[in-house]
Amino acid sequence: MENRMPTLGEQFPEMEVVTTHGTMKLPADMKGKWWVLFSHPADFTPVCTTEFVAFQKRKKEFDELDCELVGMSVDQVFSHIKWVQWIKEELNEEIQFPVIADELGVVSGKLGMIHSAKGTNTVRAVFIVDPKGAMRIILYYPQEIGRNIDEVVRAVKALQHSDKNGVAIPAGWPNNELINDNVIIPPAADEKTANERAALAEKGEIECFDWWFCHRKKIEP
């Protein structure tokens, strides 16, 4: 099975997958929605269990962003079903998103989720996909390190705000050390725009450290 590293902006490859919620066609079944595909090394393992609980506890936040969650590993669907049941019975957390059973390695092969230096299980990959099916953010974590799910929520929010308002998002947004929850206006590409920025700054409509580093208040949805 091909094992390649996808690139940012690339279209999510078409595939039919078996999940705990039945068969799905990706990305077709997610058309018009943001969605997050995340892989884990194996069912019935402690770090993966903490991540599944963390994703589920934030599902309402993802729902508010109109963003779906899809889990995945190379385990069989029977294992996924039993593990999800165990989480509900023992940890009192009902996993409400589908989990792909990539038993034959089709998904992991197309998305570069198996790294030979880290074994034969899927690494902790995260793919944030936009409503047009483009992969906008790709993250890879090793088996031994659990992910920060709040960062995944933040990343979806940041992408949506950037797309809607044509702005760039600073580090740690909305708690940036320099500009707090402000957003960055893309740098001027010509002298005319640079002079216009300076005029807006004089009027107090935007703030600038210099002509190439201007920012403004975020626009509430």
Active site residues: 48
Peptide bond into 13 cis (omega under 30): no
- From CA 15, how far away is CA 157, in angstroms rounded? 27
CA 136 to CA 140: how far, in whole Å?
14
CA–CA dist 149, 64 (Å, integer) = 15
How far apart are the C-alpha atoms of 74 and 161, rounded to whole Å? 34
Task: Report residue 86 as tokens.
Answer: 């165990």
Which stretch of DSSP H or E encloses residue 85?
A: helix 77-91
**Scanning the structure block, which residue is given the tokens 């050390």?**
177
Instruction: List, in sequence order, every residue forming a beta bridge with 214; answer none if it has no partner.
Output: 185, 208
Task: Report the candidate in 141, 136, 148, 142 with the shortest Cα–Cα distance to residue 58.
Answer: 148
Angle at 133 between CA 131 and CA 136, to 5 degrees: 90
Phi first, then psi, for residue 193 (nearest 5°) are -65, -40
